[in-house]
C-alpha cells in the first residue's frame, strides 16, 4: 500500500471512530509478494500471494494475527458495536433453537440449543421426561470448544451414533452410546465427517462413510469409502464394502462419496454415490449380501437421471426426479428389480419445487416450495395428494417421521416466527409440540415484504425485506442485502430474523435476494446460475439492489451487501462490476480464488458446480468467478470486511486472506478493507452462540459505520 493510500485509508477510518481511538488502530500488514505464474491453455495467470496457500509458511500466522489486530482495532472502536452486541446477546440468548429430531421406538430424540446455552445439545424424551444425551459444552476448555456435528439413533432407539469435532473443524470422531444408560461405548471411529450412519433393523450395527485422504490436503475428501461396523468389535477391522476400484461393475470418480442406505423392514440396501450435485447415482442389492460383502449391485439410476431424493418402503422404491421435469416429480419402482423405464409416476410435476420425501404410516409426506416459502403435502396410502395448511408462511427446515406411526414432526420457522418443533397428525392438524419454548421477543414492531426485481434478461428475481414499521422510504435508509446462489440450494428462505433485528432496530432494512444458482424455482433456476451461467448470480443481486434504489428503500451511499461461503463469489464479482453501487461489502468465509481450488481440501469435489481447471471451458468459467484475480488497481472500491476461520474445512483461509491483501493494495477509495479472523472456528457450522454473537455485532457495526457514518 502506498503512503498516500495509507494516509487516505487512515483518514476514512477516523470518520467512523474517534480520533483518539483511530490513532491506536494497528496498521494492516503489507503482505509479502512472491509472484507465481500459471499458464492455462496459453493464458498466463499471475498469483502474487501463492505463499498463503502454505499454512506452515513462517509468515502465515503472523499475517493473520496482524490482519485481525487491525480489524479488531477498527471494529472495537466503532460506537455502535457494544450497543449492538448487547441487543444481539439478548436476542440469541432468549431463543431456544431446534435443529432436527428423530422418533425411534418409544423415544423422541431432538437436537436443540436451549435458551442461554452456548451450543447445541442432544436430548431424548421418554415417558414424558427429557434428559440430555450429548452436551458438547462439557468438553470445552478456555481456548477450545467441541461441537456436535451429526447423529443418528438406531431404529428401536436403543443406540446412538454421533460425531464430535473441535473448534468448528467438522473433523468428526464417531462415538456410540447406549441410550438407556447413557454409557458411551469404547469404539471410536475417526475421519467420519460425512459418516451418514444407516442402522440395521436390530440395532446391532450400521453402515457408514469414512474419509481416507490426509486432513488439510486437497485429497481429504477424495476416495472416501463405505464400511460396516458391528457393535462391540474393533473399528480397525470394519469390513470395507465399497471403495473406488473394488467392484468392476461399479465405476465412479474419486470425488463421489459412497454410502449404503437401509430402511426399516426392507430386504434391500441402496448404494448411493454423491458429490456436490443435488443428483445421486443409485444401485440396489439384497441387504443380506451387502452385509456379507458379496453384493451384486444393480443400477437404479445414474446422475443423468436426475434423482435428487428417495424413499424405500419394503420393495417399493420412491424416486424424486427432475429429468425433463425441473420442478420435480415422484416415481415408484421395485427395489429388488428397479427400472426407471417402467417406473410409475405417482406425483406429477406442478408449480411447486419438490425437495424431499418422508415416509410415515399414513403415507408419504412431500416437502416443497414455491420460490422460497415451504409447502407440505401428503400422498396418502389411498393415492390421494393433499396439502397440509401450515400455521404461517415459513420454511420447513426438517420433516421427520416414524414409518410405524402416522403423522410427522417438523421444524418450522418464519421471518418473524422463531423456529419450533411442530407435529402434523393424520387428520392434517398442525400443532406446536412445546418442545421449543417460545421466546419473550416481541416482533410486532417489524414487518416483512416480498418483492421482485427485473434482471437484464427480463427474469423476475424475488427478494424479501425485513424492517421496522413506519420506516420512511426516502432513499436514506441503511440496507444490508444478502445473497448466495449456488448448488441449487435455497439458501435464503423465511427463517427467524433473530440477531438481524438488532440491525433493524437501528433503522436498517435487512434483505435477502433469491438469485439464480439456487433452487428456489427448481433445476432450471440452478442451471441458470451454474458453470458458464454464473454471472447471472451476481447480476441478479445487482438488479435487486438497483430496484431497491429506484423504489426509495435505500441508495448507494447507504447500501451494503453480504454473503457467506460460495456467496463470496457473488459478493466479490458484484463489488468489482459495480463498485459505485455499494457503500460496504461483507464476505463471510468467502470463496474468492477458485482458480486455486486444487490447493485446498474441499476443492476437486466442487468441479461439477464451477468447472474443471483441466478443461478449457472449465478454466474460462472459473476465471470469470475468480474475484481475487479480477481486482483492478486504482479502483474506488467500497468498504470491505472479509472473515475467515483458521480451521475452516470448506473454504480454505487463503481465499479471504489473498483477497484482503489484494484489495488493500488496489483500492483508491481510501475506505477500509479488513480481514477478521477467528482462530478457534471454521466455516461456522460448529461455531458457538457467543462466537456468532460477536461476529454479528462486528458485521452490523461495520455496516452502520459505512452506511450511516455512525
At 317-359, the pLDDT tens digits run 999 999 999 999 999 999 999 999 999 999 999 999 999 999 9
- How high is the pLDDT of residue 370? 87
- What span, in angstroms and rounded, lies between the C-alpha atoms of 628 and 595? 9
184 has which bridge partners?
Answer: 177
Each residue of 439-467: pLDDT tens digit?
999 999 999 999 999 999 999 999 999 99
- How high is the pLDDT of residue 450? 97
- What span, in angstroms and rounded, lies between the C-alpha atoms of 614 and 419? 44
- How high is the pLDDT of residue 6? 41
- How high is the pLDDT of residue 23? 60
**In the predicted structure, residue 4 carries a pLDDT above the cut 50:** no
Residues 704/506, Cβ–Cβ less than 8 Å? yes
Query: For the chain, what is the mean pLDDT?
Result: 95
- How high is the pLDDT of residue 622? 98
Q: What percentage of the chain exceeds 70 in pLDDT?
A: 97
Each residue of 173-221: pLDDT tens digit?
999 999 999 999 999 999 999 999 999 999 999 999 999 999 999 999 9
| Cα–Cα nearest to 570, from 512, 645, 509, 611 | 512
- How high is the pLDDT of residue 7? 37
- What span, in angstroms and rounded, lies between the C-alpha atoms of 667 and 654? 20
Each residue of 101-149: pLDDT tens digit?
999 999 999 999 999 999 999 999 999 999 999 999 999 999 999 999 9
Return phi, psi of residue 585, to 5°. Answer: -135, 135
| Residue range 417-441: mean pLDDT, rounded | 96
CA torsion 298-304-306-311 (nearest 10°) is 0
Q: What is the largest CA-CA distance in the chain?
A: 76
| Cα–Cα nearest to 318, from 293, 297, 299, 335 | 335
- What span, in angstroms and rounded, lies between the C-alpha atoms of 657 and 673? 11
- How high is the pLDDT of residue 8? 39
The three grid cell numbers given for residue 525, joined into one nine-digit string: 433456476
- Sorting pLDDT into bands at 50, 70 and 90, what band is 530? very high
Each residue of 226-258: pLDDT tens digit?
999 999 999 999 999 999 999 999 999 999 999
**In the predicted structure, residue 572 carries a pLDDT above the cut 50:** yes
- How high is the pLDDT of residue 247? 96
**In the predicted structure, residue 12 carries a pLDDT above the cut 50:** no
- Sorting pLDDT into bands at 50, 70 and 90, what band is 24? confident
Residues 411/101, Cβ–Cβ less than 8 Å? yes
Q: What secondary structure letter does DSSP report for 490? A: -
β pairing state of 559-564 and 479-483: parallel
The three grid cell numbers given for residue 369, joined into one nine-digit string: 416450495
- How high is the pLDDT of residue 407? 97
Q: How far is CA 376 from CA 193, 364, 518, in A?
A: 30, 11, 20
Each residue of 362-416: pLDDT tens digit?
999 999 998 999 999 999 999 999 999 999 999 999 999 999 999 999 999 999 9
| Residue range 605-628: mean pLDDT, rounded | 97
Residues 119/147, Cβ–Cβ less than 8 Å? yes
- What span, in angstroms and rounded, lies between the C-alpha atoms of 555 and 334? 58
- How high is the pLDDT of residue 2? 40
| Residue range 690-710: mean pLDDT, rounded | 96
DSSP 209-239: EE--SPTTSTTTTSS-EEEEEETTS-GGG--
- 461 Ramachandran zone, left/alpha/beta (phi>0; psi -120 to 50): beta
Q: What percentage of the chain exceeds 90 in pLDDT?
A: 95
Contacts of 222 (CB under 8 A, 6+ apart): 212, 213, 254, 255, 604, 605
The three grid cell numbers given for residue 357, joined into one nine-digit string: 420425501
CA torsion 534-535-541-546 (nearest 10°) is -160
- How high is the pLDDT of residue 10? 44
Residues 376/424, Cβ–Cβ less than 8 Å? yes
- How high is the pLDDT of residue 383? 94
- How high is the pLDDT of residue 496? 97
Helices (H), 81-186: 81-94
- What span, in angstroms and rounded, lies between the C-alpha atoms of 206 and 255? 23
Q: How many CA atoms lie within 13 A of 624 on its CB side?
A: 19
- How high is the pLDDT of residue 292? 96
> 85-100 burial, b if ≥16 CB within 10 A, otherwise e?
bebbbbbbbbbbbbbb
R_g of the chain, CA atoms, integer Å: 25
The three grid cell numbers given for residue 136, joined into one nine-digit string: 458438547
CB count within 10 Å of CB 321 equals: 23
| Residue range 541-550: mean pLDDT, rounded | 98
- Sorting pLDDT into bands at 50, 70 and 90, what band is 578? very high
- How high is the pLDDT of residue 129? 95
**In the predicted structure, residue 299 carries a pLDDT above the cut 80:** yes
- How high is the pLDDT of residue 709? 83
Q: How far is CA 509 from CA 151, 235, 449, 515, 555, in A?
A: 37, 52, 11, 18, 12
Residues 284/266, Cβ–Cβ less than 8 Å? no
- What span, in angstroms and rounded, lies between the C-alpha atoms of 455 and 86? 39
| Residue range 662-675: mean pLDDT, rounded | 98
Return phi, psi of residue 527, to 5°. Answer: -60, -30
β pairing state of 198-199 and 205-210: antiparallel
| Residue range 73-100: mean pLDDT, rounded | 96
Q: How many CA atoms lie within 13 A of 51 on its CB side?
A: 14
| Residue range 573-602: mean pLDDT, rounded | 97
Candidate from 21-25, 311-315, 485-489, 614-618 with smallest mean pLDDT: 21-25
**In the predicted structure, residue 71 carries a pLDDT above the cut 50:** yes
Amino acid at each position: 500500500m502506498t503512503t498516500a493510500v495509507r494516509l487516505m485509508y487512515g483518514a476514512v477510518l477516523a470518520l467512523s471512530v474517534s480520533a483518539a481511538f483511530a490513532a491506536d488502530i494497528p496498521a494492516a500488514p503489507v503482505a509479502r509478494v512472491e509472484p507465481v505464474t500459471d499458464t492455462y491453455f496459453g493464458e498466463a495467470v499471475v498469483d502474487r500471494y501463492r505463499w498463503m496457500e502454505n499454512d506452515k509458511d513462517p509468515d502465515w500466522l503472523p499475517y493473520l494475527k496482524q490482519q485481525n489486530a487491525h480489524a479488531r482495532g477498527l471494529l472495537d472502536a466503532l460506537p455502535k458495536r457494544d450497543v449492538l452486541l448487547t441487543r444481539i446477546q439478548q436476542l440469541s440468548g432468549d431463543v431456544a433453537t431446534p435443529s432436527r429430531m428423530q422418533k425411534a421406538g418409544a423415544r423422541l430424540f431432538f437436537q436443540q440449543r436451549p435458551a442461554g446455552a452456548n451450543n447445541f445439545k442432544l436430548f431424548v424424551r421418554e415417558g414424558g421426561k427429557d434428559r440430555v444425551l450429548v452436551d458438547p459444552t462439557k468438553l470445552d476448555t478456555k481456548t477450545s470448544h467441541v461441537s456436535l456435528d451429526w447423529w443418528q439413533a438406531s431404529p428401536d432407539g436403543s443406540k446412538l451414533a454421533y460425531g464430535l469435532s473441535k473448534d468448528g473443524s467438522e473433523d468428526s470422531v464417531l462415538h456410540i452410546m447406549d441410550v438407556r444408560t447413557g454409557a458411551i461405548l469404547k469404539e471410536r471411529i475417526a475421519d467420519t465427517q460425512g459418516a451418514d450412519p444407516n442402522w440395521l433393523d436390530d440395532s446391532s450395527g450400521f453402515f457408514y462413510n469414512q474419509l481416507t485422504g490426509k486432513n488439510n490436503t486437497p485429497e481429504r475428501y477424495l476416495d472416501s469409502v463405505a464400511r460396516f461396523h458391528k457393535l462391540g468389535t474393533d473399528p480397525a477391522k470394519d469390513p470395507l464394502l465399497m471403495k473406488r476400484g473394488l467392484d468392476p461393475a461399479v465405476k465412479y470418480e474419486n470425488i463421489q462419496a459412497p454410502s449404503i442406505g437401509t430402511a426399516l423392514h426392507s430386504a434391500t440396501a441402496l448404494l448411493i454415490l454423491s458429490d456436490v450435485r443435488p443428483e445421486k447415482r443409485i444401485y440396489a442389492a439384497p441387504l443380506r449380501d451387502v452385509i456379507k460383502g458379496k453384493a451384486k449391485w444393480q443400477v437404479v439410476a445414474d446422475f443423468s437421471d436426475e434423482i435428487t431424493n428417495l424413499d424405500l418402503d419394503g420393495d417399493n422404491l420412491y424416486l424424486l426426479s427432475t429429468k425433463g421435469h425441473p420442478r420435480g416429480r415422484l416415481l415408484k419402482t421395485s427395489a429388488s428389480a428397479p427400472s426407471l423405464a417402467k417406473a410409475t409416476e405417482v406425483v406429477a410435476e406442478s408449480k411447486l419445487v419438490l425437495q424431499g420425501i418422508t415416509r410415515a404410516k399414513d403415507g408419504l409426506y412431500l416437502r416443497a416450495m414455491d420460490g422460497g416459502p415451504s409447502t407440505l403435502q401428503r400422498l396418502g396410502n389411498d393415492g390421494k395428494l393433499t396439502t397440509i395448511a401450515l400455521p404461517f408462511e415459513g420454511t420447513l427446515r426438517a420433516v421427520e417421521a416414524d414409518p410405524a406411526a402416522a403423522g410427522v414432526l417438523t421444524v418450522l420457522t418464519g421471518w418473524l416466527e422463531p423456529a419450533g418443533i411442530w407435529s402434523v397428525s393424520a387428520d392434517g392438524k398442525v400443532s406446536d409440540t412445546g418442545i421449543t419454548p417460545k421466546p419473550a421477543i416481541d416482533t410486532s414492531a417489524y414487518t416483512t415484504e416480498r418483492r421482485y426485481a427485473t434482471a437484464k434478461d427480463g427474469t423476475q428475481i424475488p427478494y424479501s425485506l425485513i424492517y421496522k414499521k413506519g420506516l420512511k422510504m426516502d432513499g436514506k435508509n441503511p440496507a444490508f442485502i444478502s445473497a448466495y446462489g449456488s448448488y441449487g440450494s435455497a439458501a435464503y428462505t423465511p427463517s427467524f430474523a433473530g440477531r438481524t433485528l438488532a440491525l433493524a432496530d437501528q433503522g436498517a432494512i435487512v434483505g435477502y435476494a433469491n438469485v439464480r444458482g439456487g433452487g428456489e424455482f427448481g433445476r432450471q433456476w440452478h442451471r441458470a446460475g451454474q458453470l458458464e451461467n454464473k454471472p447471472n448470480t451476481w447480476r441478479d443481486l445487482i438488479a435487486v439492489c438497483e430496484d431497491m434504489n429506484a423504489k426509495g428503500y435505500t441508495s448507494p451511499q447507504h447500501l451494503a451487501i453480504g454473503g457467506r461461503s460460495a456467496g463470496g463469489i457473488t459478493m466479490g464479482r458484484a463489488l468489482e462490476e459495480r463498485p459505485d453501487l455499494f457503500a460496504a461489502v461483507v464476505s463471510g468465509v468467502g470463496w474468492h480464488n477458485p482458480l486455486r481450488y486444487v490447493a485446498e481440501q474441499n476443492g476437486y469435489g466442487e468441479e461439477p458446480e464451477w468447472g474443471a481447471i483441466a478443461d478449457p471451458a472449465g478454466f474460462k468459467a472459473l476465471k470469470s468467478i475468480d474475484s481475487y484475480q479480477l481486482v483492478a488497481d486504482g479502483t474506488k472500491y467500497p468498504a470491505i470486511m472479509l472473515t475467515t476461520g483458521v480451521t475452516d474445512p470448506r473454504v480454505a483461509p487463503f481465499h479471504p486472506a489473498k483477497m484482503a491483501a489484494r484489495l488493500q493494495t488496489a483500492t483508491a477509495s481510501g475506505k477500509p478493507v479488513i480481514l477478521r479472523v477467528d482462530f478457534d472456528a471454521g466455516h461456522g457450522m460448529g461455531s458457538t452462540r457467543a462466537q456468532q454473537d460477536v461476529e454479528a455485532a462486528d458485521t452490523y457495526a461495520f455496516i452502520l459505520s459505512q452506511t450511516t457514518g455512525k
